[in-house]
Structure 1
Amino acid sequence: MTSSLPSLAAPWRIGVDVGGTFTDMVLRDATGAVRIFKSPSVPADPSEGVLGVLRLAAQQLDLPLSALLRDCALFVHGSTVATNTILEKKGAKVGLLTSAGFRDSLEIRRGIRENQWDHRAPFPPVLAPRYLRLPVRGRIGADGHELAPLVSEDVDAAAKMFTDEGVESVAVCLFNSFLDGGHERAAGARLSKSWAGQWISLSSEVMPTMGEYERSSTAVVNAYIAPKVTSYLKALDQQLRQLGLPRSLLLLQSNGGAVSVDQVASRPVMLVLSGPAAGVGALKGCAAPGEAANLISMEIGGTSCDVMVMAKGEVPVADELVIDGYHLTTPSVEIHTVGAGGGAIAWVDDAGLLHVGPQGAGARPGPAAYGLGGENPTVTDAQLVLGRLRPGPLAGGVTLDGRLARQAVETKLAKPLGLSVEDAASGVIRLLEQNLLHAVERLSIERGHDPATFTLVAAGGAGPMHGAAVARALGAKRALLPRAAGAFCAMGMLQSDVRQDYMHVFLADLDTVDQAELEAGFSELETRAREALGREGFANGTAVLSREVDLRYDGQQWPVRVALGATFDAAASRRTFEAEHQRLFGHIQPGGRLSITALRVIARGVLDWTPPIARSPQAAAPKPREQRKVWIDPAHGWHDVPIYDGAELRPGCTLDGPLLIEERTTTAFVGPRDRLEVDQRDDFLVHVGAIA
């Protein structure tokens, strides 16, 4: 990946990722050349961050904003609005229509605690309080047939209550609606006539999955965020169109694929991982074409670190997702997030113990070194104290002040701990890297993967500072430090196909299933999928459909997703299931009875992709820009380290650590005994421990 762009060739594509600290933009033109832009985020109004980085790009490219947007063939946006609405509890006032007898299922939950040893931590507040959870009579049976008709008068009474109480959004979740959503549709139609509001979420349309609590919780969260998220997206889309964008923007979903605003408007809950899920596309860009790569990404931004695993070219997608204690059933790539970004605050507790995160300094005031009023030391401040970061201008329009960083570390850490400023700063880095190690182990070792067989991709603006050290602790032999690490997710958005997930509850024995019924179930889902992709502009040649089934042993609660081939083969499905079950749980039941619980169709609209322009190979040994005193690690202490300008390093270049590389959006640190290679993609590949 290269940031060199001498001229622009239209049409181009734009990806914009709104992070907690910076809003990143990547522009990739028709030749594959890339230009990266960063500007501070505006948490109070994320759309201002989007427009701000567009204006910055237009200014630096010497283009009118209208021209920049007019020649954009694809605009992909990763939004944190859905997640932040949940985290900040700033959603709508929600009412819930539920079947008589199930009024409290949302609050009873599953009775399972995330931490079995913690019996005192309260559950998060219920988003639909009991007085706004209103029962209606009527019942769909376990076989999908109507046992009792829906009582319309109950819906009308609930509508009056919702109007009187100022309810802004309503969720409808009726018993067994995953088998037949007729009662929910009838209730929704009745509500739209008798209730003054406009936001109605039907669980059978949001996610028709089995499990009353999960389906109800998902529908309620969808209703909670819909007014704010959908209004934001439609307003931003309209604003961009008025400024010159020729077609509607696409949004990154939690499943790692893109979707149009119209397609996701009724199901904004699909966007709760929008942004981090772009790591799927970014990881694909790190693999060779057609390669079934083993990669672990560690994307460290200003606020947090997102970890993702690609095993044999695939990133696992699950249906269970927990956001701030709220359970959601929505297709989501498996991501583990910890509060360990460059802006993570370091602090000393009352017992004299050092901590790093999870609280972050955010965009404003940010780290103490930003000079924007922040007084708490962060990881960025510690890196400045240790000489790993250069004082002065930083990508995104901020400036690093080494004096302020040192003062914060000394006042808040060194003196309370009785350490020198340098030792306190090194403690911050060591503790952070230990936290990063545990985060990566969570999705690798704990999922049955051997990290030694993976390449660690250290991305995000802060990732390349820690990639080699964490890879060494993992036992991994290679760490890839993308040249565009500071805009990793924005880059991934441009490498993400359009994707829609469809599922249908289907209960049958794997070995005795009626294959005609199975085929009919898949055909119905595929018809819906092709129609949706057709509306997005994808014809048969660019639309790819794949099939999956959910399988589980009899008596098992949670199923395992199994991909199917071109034709259904029960024996092959069993083998795939057993291999995955062994990896996840460490055992199988030889000959155990397997049940199908759901059918799935994944529809992808494949976007054409222009390979990046190949840079000419390294002609002569590069010379460092300067030598600087840098703290290496506890074993090596301080050393004079060469500092290289990343733009001067080309494919074929090899250098031995320790060294630092300064790029526009990141700084990379290569430790002693590590060998740096600039690979054919023009990224920095570190061979960990390669020097004897």
Structure 2
Amino acid sequence: MASADPAHRYRLAVDVGGTFTDVVVADDRGRGLTGIKVPTTPHDRAAGAIEGLHAAAAAAGIGLDSIVEVVHGSTTGTNALIERSGAKVGFLTTAGFRDMLEIGRVQRPMEGLYDFTVDRPPPLVPRHRCLEAVERIDAEGRIVTPLDEASVLAAADVFAGQEVEAVAICFLFAHLNPAHEDRAAEILAGHLPGVPIALSNRMSPEYREYERASTAAMNAYLTPVMDSYLGTLEARIAEAAPAARLSVIQANGGSTSVGVAREKAVTTVNSGPCGGVVAAALYGRRHGRSRMVSVDMGGTSFDIGLIEDGRSRVTTEGDFQGLPVKIPIVDLHIIGAGGGSIAWIDPGGALNVGPHSAGAVPGPACYGQGGAEATVTDANLVLGRLNPDNFNAGRMALDFAASERAVGALAEKMGASLEEAALGVVRVVNANMTRGIATVTIQRGIDVRDFSLVSFGGAGGAHAVALAEELSMAEAIVPPMPGTFSAVGLLATEMRHDYVTATGGIVAEEADIAGLEKAFQDMEQQGQDLLAAQGFPAERIRLTRLADLKVVGQTYELLLPLPGRGPVTEAGIAALVRDFGALYRERYAFFFEGEPIEIVNLRLSAEGLNPPVEFPESAGRGASPAAAQRGSR
């Protein structure tokens, strides 16, 4: 960027990945984007983030004291789940339901459909730390058995003896009547000082007790981890850039304050990849593309997002590392395929690539940090697809000879030439990524030929055309600043808070219109108050009403926005039911005409609007690729 205007204030985004930490800075009007990549520091991810902050400010020519906000996307929560390095959690539930987390839905994962070695991941809380409280609330929210406080005190004594670091509470039907959960939390807090407590009625106030319990348990598991990490990062940012506040990206594609992120740690899982989908959707809307598949190929993973009608899809039914969560999350499919993915030969002699990655340390062999195994980056370098003298905008020099040695060793095992082995690695990883894209499109009945492929990330541009051709997609797009595109998306996100009110299951035709309107108004007031406290004036607050509907007697619901604006009316509910029928028919090719429709949940999305981001023009942009050519090899 040209010399910075000292009168401007600046916002900065930090996206910590498995291999690189991407940092982007823009002024407070979303202009003058400058991006930079620095190596991730796995031993202390906050250190890499601060290093990136200094490097980006220097590249942009701005002072650290002019930075007013740092927007952060992190893999810390995700890594804690992968590595099972979270807190020691105790779980308290209704008497008779101690095995809730163990039993789950009695379903095997789809990956294990034909593979008997695949099983459900073990719960985050082992059975000996799952305890019971005597109480019962029925499906109407009425108290059947009052809370036996002595049973809660007994559980507190056991948890204290087990030295638990966090507690999750999930009672039956607490989403309809939270009184027992709230009182149990008060008792536990008095006997377990300093131990964070996650309540299911606050994490996910919806029906389905297993998913609600899993969400609360995951939040308790991650709270001490995220509290420590965010506390360290916040302190270091305050030292480096005293005027900057820290915001944290959530899995719903919006940001939140560091205080809310500490309280709802589960919402930060998979938050980093959300930035790429947000940026791709924004870029598409500005260039007349409403149907796109976004793919972010970094050093460790390949993150796939689906964009329809110019918006990323948000679902309320997802999972993290095979464990269900019941919160709004951007619909992402993530596989282990990146520039650092390691190539290997299985016992049958077949070539495989990933999911294991060389990561930031030691990294691919060509990084010169001691890596010896062949990776996708090494294969691309051997094939001449990477410039060893201009990697990471010239900030890193690649060791071509090291790549030759690593790929050569693989070639010897394969009985192939150096180039054949390198090309095999690229073809295998492309096949893995193609299958990943098909999972979110073709397998859902979506014709991928109608979609544009938007490919970014440090390794995305090298594979974009091959992927689009294999799937017969409309076009392949490599956007501006592809290496730091996800970080650009972090700057483009809005501050967002989601609220949900369970109705207990009411038939749409019999709905209490005034009651629905009051529920929406209560949620709107909560959202407005929180956003106002975070510095957003009324004119920069956007409220969106949504609802979950299903056919009476069926198990799963569909999420829809309420049609029109203004108060809930009978005509509006009738229109909502018609929209549900149209969406149901679109998804499943038929609809149960005349069947009663149930309103399951009311939802509200409250957003604080940030300045829009202006994308730079790509160098050499135009009809002819000749203008963009940098050289030949």
1:344 — aligned with what?
A: 341
2:280 — aligned with what?
A: 283
2:328 — aligned with what?
A: 331
Cα offsets for 1:599-646 (capped at 9, x unmatched)? 101111111226356x6xxxxxxxxxxxxxxxxxxxxxxxxxxxxxx7
Check the 8 A contact 2:24/2:56 in 1, yes or no.
no
- Comparing 31-40 with 16-25, greater Cα deviation is found at 31-40
Cα offsets for 1:54-111 (capped at 9, x unmatched)? 2323444566xxx32x211321000111111111111111111111111111111100
Q: Could you say what secondary structure the match of 2:328 adopts? A: strand
Of 614, 622, 629, 1:652 maps to 622
1:547 — aligned with what?
A: 545
- Comparing 288-297 with 371-380, greater Cα deviation is found at 288-297
Check the 8 A contact 2:4/2:61 in 1, yes or no.
no
Give percent identity, aligned residues only. Answer: 36
2:510 — aligned with what?
A: 512
Amino acid at match of 2:591: I
1:242 aligns with 2:242: no
Cα offsets for 1:354-407 (capped at 9, x unmatched)? 111111110111111112111110111111111111123522854311111111
Name the CA distance, whole Å, in 2 between partners of 1:509 and 1:5: 60
Cα offsets for 1:445-469 (capped at 9, x unmatched)? 2233322222210110111111112
Superposed displacement of residue 270, structure 1: 0.5
Superposed displacement of residue 243, structure 1: 2.6
Superposed displacement of residue 202, structure 1: 0.9
Name the CA distance, whole Å, in 2 between partners of 1:192 and 1:498: 30
1:147 — aligned with what?
A: 144
Superposed displacement of residue 6, structure 1: 4.6
Name the CA distance, whole Å, in 1 between partners of 2:175 and 2:194: 25
Of 160, 165, 177, 2:162 maps to 165
Check the 8 A contact 1:5/1:34 in 2, yes or no.
no
- Comparing 8-17 with 311-320, greater Cα deviation is found at 8-17
Q: Could you say what secondary structure the match of 1:297 adopts? A: strand
Name the CA distance, whole Å, in 2 between partners of 1:559 and 1:661: 52
Name the CA distance, whole Å, in 2 between partners of 1:359 and 1:576: 44
2:559 — aligned with what?
A: 561
Cα offsets for 1:140-197 (capped at 9, x unmatched)? 2211121222111111111111111111111111111010111111111111111244
Check the 8 A contact 1:30/1:610 in 2, yes or no.
no
Superposed displacement of residue 45, structure 1: 1.4
Superposed displacement of residue 49, structure 1: 1.1
Of 230, 247, 257, 1:260 maps to 257
- 290 and 363 in structure 1: CA distance in 2 versus 1, 3 angstrom threshold: closer
Name the CA distance, whole Å, in 1 between partners of 2:367 and 2:349: 27
Cα offsets for 1:217-244 (capped at 9, x unmatched)? 1111111110111221122113212333
Superposed displacement of residue 654, structure 1: 1.7
1:180 aligns with 2:177: yes
Name the CA distance, whole Å, in 1 between partners of 2:526 and 2:37: 39
Check the 8 A contact 1:284/1:495 in 2, yes or no.
no
Amino acid at match of 1:172: I
Superposed displacement of residue 322, structure 1: 1.7
Superposed displacement of residue 268, structure 1: 0.5
Superposed displacement of residue 117, structure 1: 3.2
2:54 — aligned with what?
A: 55
- 661 and 87 in structure 1: CA distance in 2 versus 1, 3 angstrom threshold: farther
In proportion to residue count, which structure has more helix? 2
Q: Could you say what secondary structure the match of 2:263 adopts? A: coil
1:77 — aligned with what?
A: 72
Name the CA distance, whole Å, in 2 between partners of 1:599 and 1:245: 40
Q: Could you say what secondary structure the match of 2:93 adopts? A: strand
- 316 and 62 in structure 1: CA distance in 2 versus 1, 3 angstrom threshold: closer
Name the CA distance, whole Å, in 2 between partners of 1:464 and 1:24: 16
Paired residues, number: 622
Of 492, 499, 521, 1:523 maps to 521
2:10 — aligned with what?
A: 12
Amino acid at match of 2:624: T
Check the 8 A contact 1:281/1:494 in 2, yes or no.
no
Superposed displacement of residue 284, structure 1: 3.4
1:99 — aligned with what?
A: 94
1:415 aligns with 2:412: yes
Amino acid at match of 1:88: E
Superposed displacement of residue 352, structure 1: 1.3
Q: Could you say what secondary structure the match of 1:493 adopts? A: helix
Name the CA distance, whole Å, in 2 between partners of 1:503 and 1:30: 32
Amino acid at match of 1:392: D
Structure 2 residue ranges without an equivalent (≥5)? none
Name the CA distance, whole Å, in 2 between partners of 1:474 and 1:571: 40
Of 462, 470, 476, 2:467 maps to 470
Name the CA distance, whole Å, in 1 between partners of 2:289 and 2:37: 32
Superposed displacement of residue 313, structure 1: 1.4
Name the CA distance, whole Å, in 2 between partners of 1:157 and 1:129: 18
Amino acid at match of 2:93: T
- Comparing 123-132 with 430-439, greater Cα deviation is found at 123-132
Superposed displacement of residue 119, structure 1: 4.2
Query: Which residues of 2 match residues 615-654 of structure 1 at below 5 A?
Result: 647=619, 649=620, 651-652=621-622, 654=624
- 291 and 245 in structure 1: CA distance in 2 versus 1, 3 angstrom threshold: farther
Check the 8 A contact 2:297/2:458 in 1, yes or no.
yes
TM-score w.r.t. length of structure 2: 0.94
2:33 — aligned with what?
A: 34
Q: Could you say what secondary structure the match of 2:305 adopts? A: strand
Name the CA distance, whole Å, in 1 between partners of 2:626 and 2:468: 17
Superposed displacement of residue 271, structure 1: 0.5
Check the 8 A contact 1:251/1:260 in 2, yes or no.
yes
Name the CA distance, whole Å, in 1 between partners of 2:380 and 2:286: 36
Name the CA distance, whole Å, in 1 between partners of 2:39 and 2:221: 28
1:590 — aligned with what?
A: 593
- Comparing 37-46 with 13-22, greater Cα deviation is found at 37-46
1:674 — aligned with what?
A: none
1:122 — aligned with what?
A: 119
Cα offsets for 1:291-333 (capped at 9, x unmatched)? 6721210110000110101101121111222222211111100
Cα offsets for 1:642-670 (capped at 9, x unmatched)? xxxx75x2x4352269x9658xxxx9x9x
2:200 — aligned with what?
A: 203
1:231 aligns with 2:228: yes
Check the 8 A contact 2:253/2:329 in 1, yes or no.
yes
Amino acid at match of 1:100: A
Amino acid at match of 2:589: G
1:494 aligns with 2:491: yes
1:315 — aligned with what?
A: 312
1:23 — aligned with what?
A: 21
Of 63, 77, 84, 1:89 maps to 84
1:404 — aligned with what?
A: 402
Superposed displacement of residue 575, structure 1: 3.1
Amino acid at match of 1:83: T
TM-score w.r.t. length of structure 1: 0.86
CA-atom RMSD, angstroms?
2.2
- 37 and 600 in structure 1: CA distance in 2 versus 1, 3 angstrom threshold: same
Check the 8 A contact 1:5/1:35 in 2, yes or no.
no
